[in-house]
Structure 1
Amino acid sequence: MSIRPQDLPELRAALLDWTRRHGSDYFKSCVQDGAQRLFFPADPQTAGHWFANTDADRLAKADLYWVSAEMTELCVAAAKSMPEWELAPEDVPSQQGFILFEGLASLRPDYPSTAFSWGPCPRLAAQATLKGGAGLWLSAYTDVAAAYELAGVALDSMRVPMAPLMYAGESLAAYGHREAGDVSINTVDGDEVVSDDDELLTSRVGSLALIKTAWLLLQQGLVDVSELQPDRATVKRLRRAGHAEDLTATRVIDLRHRTTGTGASADREFRHQWIVKGHWRQQWYPSREVHRPVWTAPHVKGPEGAPLIGGEKVYAWKR
């Protein structure tokens, strides 16, 4: 499924409509089948209503984000070496958000999710899993057609029509300093993981690690963020469908290209070029009194035209 930035308002509307109409039954079935983790004692019907209502609320209030394929590739690569850091509300770009990563499925074969929504962790779930503290809830969604094709099930055989995306799990993360085991309860990535900074989860680019990386990169100068308003035809369709409140601009996140090369220091003379690999460094933010990882992109150092030392793969970053 190929989704353009201008498609995101209608995609969100379709997913929201489906969740409001069919979500309770879907989550009830998942609970009954043992496919949906419960965060508090509840019968399947009550739990189904709770999951559907809280997810619909996040989607309805979400700001929209669309990440280009090139930026998605950078997020996945950078997430593999992202250092540990403590998530705070100030690190989240919107209180609620819905984000789609173009081309994510091919870069992260272990996990099928391609889109995510987030918002404050609901009180009942926070009490049970985050010791009652404030935190983040991250819902993951996967391409319905791809998921059913993988399972060998025909979409037209379903009794209930499906939205283009389907709910695929969730991640919870507490804000601030936590003891080991309190960082996250993660079900979107397969086996339960109790820490979002766990080495396996980071190296395999789990969904929470991917989102945290994207949020860090959003704050840096190597990212271009533009806003795309829904076109006239989209506005008319959304209004006819009763989604006048969903006429939200989509923030398009793309990689900013360099226009000048990275030269050597002016007071030193070099006779070769060499590769500087992409890496993270910790930067101090005095206004918040916190350290946060900052990504340094791969680039070539040294005088232009000089021989290149090493035969590794080089990514050309142009400004």
Structure 2
Amino acid sequence: MAKKRTKAWTLAGAARAVRDARIATMQHMQSAPIARHMQEQQLRNAFALKVAHLRGDKPTANALLFGGMGYRDPFPPFTDWAAAADTVVTDEARYLAEAELYVLSPHMCDVVIAAAQSLTLEDLELLGEEDLPGPTGLVMLPRPVLVRTAGGNIADLRAFTWRVPSSILNPSLEDGSLGYLPAVRVSSYNDTHGPVRPDTFLQLAAAAREHGTPLPPLLLDAIKCAGFRYTAAPEQLQVLRDYLKVVKKSGAATRAWHAAHGQDENRVIGEYTPDSQLDDPEDTFQIRFLYAFWRLSEQRITTLQPAPLNHSAQLQADRAGVPADVRVVQLRRTQQAGENTLGGRDWQHRWVVRMHKVRQWYPSLQQHKVIYRGPYIKGPADKPLLGGETVRGLTR
């Protein structure tokens, strides 16, 4: 059987894809009841995890759930999940409509992934509002990235959004009152047509088609906020570790239940090798990816250019009431053509060469910032990218 050919990435095609995906996803959120049904189920599940972790304290669980998504007291009530889901979906559709659009070239995406994997929780404490390229944005990847979540499921992430100003609940005030920290609200979106195809998703997609509202290209996966210049206390980190244990245990129990009822929740189609996905046990990949993207975009190793805009695209955007501009982010320095087979070697992978993460001190700001020095991609474009420490450790 002939190998299926992958459609080549082009700047114009990527720009068209992100414009179309934004409009279709936004309009689905605005009008499709199933979008609210999906969000309601996600809220219920997240609330149940927090209640289990807090041993039945529902008011605190509700505050942590919505306070962690950028909402302030009075929070949407957990006694009316339909109304809460409507609030979240309505807000997300509006934020999606207002976002500035970015697309990553395949090489740039590889570099951002490698950079994100190098970031630690301590590095994320350096995040500040000045790191963001603008108050709101949507960045679309050239392909879905497979990530194993803290709960043990595999997600095919395709886009991320961010928005400021926002805030995150800080429940650690000494007097027990609620406090808030300046933060950025970030959302992750799965690829509706991506390789992850569990039975429950296929049932959901069938129901959406049956109701005349087929699923849009992007599906909202998770919303959370990341505080600016915030250092968690040791006891807070321990609370987070305990919560992640609850998430992992619950995920395993859910998959076991589905398996016992004849449902396959681990189906990934296409050329997928088990255990080849990125692992995200701390539930931080989305913010690590965006932080790496923001820091790299500020450096001279990237180029940012507007995508071509024709009359049809402008008219479509005007009708939807959204901006039509798209910014394409590419790696400035890449290998030259013909370097894929240096010395006649048949290279089986791509890798990031000479990428070093540095916590640079800025005297004028009196603070550190994460910077990356010298990354570029080497190896054949159609080969898999080496990941983890191997990528970050290569020097030549």
Q: TM-score range by the shorter chain?
A: 0.7 to 0.9
Identify the residue that residue 355 of structure 2 maps to in structure 1: 278
1:232-247 map, 5 Å: 232-239=311-318, 242-243=319-320, 245-247=321-323
Query: Kindly tell me: are residues 33 and 168 of structure 1, through their superposed partners in 2, closer, same or farther at Cα, counting changes over 3 Å?
Result: same
Deviations for 1:139-182, whole angstroms, at most 9, x for unmatched residues? 11111133673436163443342111111112321112332338
Identify the residue that residue 116 of structure 2 maps to in structure 1: 79
1:54-203 map, 5 Å: 54-83=91-120, 84=123, 85-105=125-145, 108=147, 110-120=154-164, 122=166, 126=169, 131-146=179-194, 149-151=197-199, 153=202, 155-158=205-208, 159=211, 160-180=213-233, 181=236, 191=247, 201=280
Letter in structure 2 aligned against 1:114 = R
Q: How many angstroms apart in 1 are the aligned matches of 2:91 and 2:240?
A: 18
1:23-38 map, 5 Å: 23-32=35-44, 38=65
Q: Runs of 5+ in structure 2 lacking a partner?
A: 1-6, 51-64, 67-74, 149-153, 173-177, 249-278, 337-351, 377-389
Contact residue 81 and residue 203 of structure 1 kept, 8 A: no
Match of 2:193, SS? helix
The structure with the largest helix share of the pair is 2
Contact residue 157 and residue 188 of structure 2 kept, 8 A: yes
Q: How many angstroms apart in 1 are the aligned matches of 2:353 and 2:286?
A: 27
Deviations for 1:240-282, whole angstroms, at most 9, x for unmatched residues? xx32x3133111000112699xxxxxxxxxxxxxx97421112
Q: How many angstroms apart in 1 are the aligned matches of 2:221 and 2:191?
A: 9
Contact residue 185 and residue 224 of structure 2 kept, 8 A: yes
Question: Which deviates more from structure 2 when the two are superposed, residues 220-229 or residues 110-119?
Answer: 110-119
The counterpart of 1:216, out of the listed 284, 289, 295, is 295
Q: How many angstroms apart in 2 are the aligned matches of 1:316 and 1:179?
A: 33
Q: How many angstroms apart in 2 are the aligned matches of 1:256 and 1:138?
A: 27
Structure 1 position 185, deviation (Å): 8.1
Question: Which deviates more from structure 2 when the two are superposed, residues 172-181 or residues 47-56?
Answer: 172-181
Q: How many angstroms apart in 2 are the aligned matches of 1:316 and 1:7?
A: 35
Letter in structure 1 aligned against 2:325 = A
Letter in structure 2 aligned against 1:145 = H
> Share of identical aligned residues, percent?
19
Q: Is 2:367 aligned against 1:290?
A: yes
Match of 1:4, SS? helix
Contact residue 229 and residue 248 of structure 1 kept, 8 A: no
What is the RMSD computed on CA atoms of the aligned residues? 3.8
Question: Which deviates more from structure 2 when the two are superposed, residues 136-145 or residues 250-259?
Answer: 250-259
Q: How many angstroms apart in 2 are the aligned matches of 1:282 and 1:204?
A: 23
Q: How many angstroms apart in 2 are the aligned matches of 1:116 and 1:9?
A: 14
TM-score, normalised on structure 1?
A: 0.72
Q: How many angstroms apart in 2 are the aligned matches of 1:114 and 1:140?
A: 8
Q: How many angstroms apart in 2 are the aligned matches of 1:174 and 1:185?
A: 15
Identify the residue that residue 49 of structure 1 maps to in structure 2: 86
Deviations for 1:3-60, whole angstroms, at most 9, x for unmatched residues? 6123322221111111111343432243345589842451202211221122122112
Letter in structure 1 aligned against 2:189 = Y
Structure 1 position 95, deviation (Å): 0.8
TM-score, normalised on structure 2?
A: 0.59
Identify the residue that residue 261 of structure 2 maps to in structure 1: none
Structure 1 position 286, deviation (Å): 3.6
Query: Kindly tell me: are residues 47 and 185 of structure 1, through their superposed partners in 2, closer, same or farther at Cα, counting changes over 3 Å?
Result: farther
Query: Kindly tell me: are residues 258 and 203 of structure 1, through their superposed partners in 2, closer, same or farther at Cα, counting changes over 3 Å?
Result: farther
Q: Runs of 5+ in structure 1 lacking a partner?
A: 193-199, 261-274, 300-311
What stretches of structure 1 move > 6 A for 4+ residues in a row? 127-130, 184-187, 202-205, 312-317
Structure possessing the higher relative contact order (Cα contacts under 8 Å, 6 or more residues apart): 2
Query: Kindly tell me: are residues 175 and 257 of structure 1, through their superposed partners in 2, closer, same or farther at Cα, counting changes over 3 Å?
Result: same
Structure 1 position 76, deviation (Å): 1.1
Structure 1 position 118, deviation (Å): 1.1
Letter in structure 1 aligned against 2:191 = D
